[in-house]
Amino acid sequence: MIHAMTGTDTEVGKTVATAVLAARSLSHGHSVAIYKPTQTGLGKSEPGDAQDVARWLGNPGQLSAFEGVRLRHPMAPVDAALCAGLDPAAVLPTLAQHVQQVGELDATHDVVIIEGAGGLLVELTAAGETIADLAQAVGASLVVAARPDLGTLNHTALTLEACSTRGFTRGTLLLGSYPEQPEPLHQRNLANLRNMAAGHGWDFAGALPAGLVRDPSRCRAALHEAAATLAWPCPGPC
């Protein structure tokens, strides 16, 4: 089973949602590979998104973390390469190379979770392919993480419309971080996004409580608790 984790924007909770989905798969006894095709905004020695997921879950033997390429500037991959004085075509893996890597992970793990960079249409390759192209190429199911705040209706509608026009007639929408004291706006947006998912024929997995990874001593338990509450549609191993 291959999931492609994307979002309506950067910083919406894709990595945390990846960790919750991985926790769910681990709790079903599945092996999991986390693949971040292009990690930007971090130096060589800093933990990236895939390593964060492994650490938060206690570095279980059943979970492995992989990264395609890492660039220091906190930007979209092509810009991060250009700002480093590098040729994007020389440093960013091609779609074919990402497909091969995912294929190798899929052959050796029950579940593969790919996390994009930023939102759905951020280009991961020099040729301009996105996480949507990679998801299509490997037959991944799309998961979109969204915010609960003002602005999410437009961002989420645009993202789901872009998914539909690319042939993703199914997928899962979730809220990446839902306040512990939600205001009426957040409550309305929870209902609005549930309805929006249904309008596109997508599933709505629910809202991840904010603060899930705040306390390092409780990350693993909190992520597994959140995984148990998700309304996750689960064809096959997930």
Ligand X SMILES: Nc1ncnc2c1ncn2[C@@H]1O[C@H](COP(=O)(O)OP(=O)(O)OP(=O)(O)O)[C@@H](O)[C@H]1O
Ligand Y SMILES: C[C@H](N)[C@H](N)CCCCCC(=O)O
Give least dist CB 224 to ligand X, A.
14
The answer to whether 211 contacts ligand X (rule: CB under 6 A) is: yes
Residues in contact with 159: Cβ distance below 8 Å, sequence separation at least 6, in sequence order: 6, 7, 8, 119, 120, 144, 146
User: Between 93 and 148, whose beta carbon lies closer to ligand X?
Assistant: 148
115 is in an annotated binding site: yes
14 is in an annotated binding site: yes
43 is in an annotated binding site: no
Q: Which of residues 30-89 bind ligand X (CB under 6 A)?
A: 49
Instruction: For residue 36, indicate whether it is catalytic.
Output: yes
Residue in 84, 162, 150, 68 with CA at minimum distance from that of residue 117: 68
Angle between the N-to-C axes of helices 95-108 and 131-138, in degrees from 0 to 180, rounded to the nearest 10: 50
Residues that bind Mg ion (CB under 5 A): 14-15, 49
Q: Are 111 and 3 in contact (CB under 8 A)?
A: yes
- Other beta carbons within 10 Å of 103: 14
Q: Which of residues 65-84 bind ligand Y (CB under 6 A)?
A: 74, 76
User: Between 49 and 110, whose beta carbon lies closer to ligand X?
Assistant: 49
Rounded alpha-carbon distances, angstroms, from residue 192 to 56, 140, 188, 229: 30, 26, 6, 20
The answer to whether 103 contacts ligand Y (rule: CB under 6 A) is: no
Binding residues for substrate: 40
Residues forming contacts to ligand Y in the complex (CB under 6 A) are 10, 40-41, 74, 76, 117-119, 122
Instruction: Tell me the catalytic residues.
Output: 36
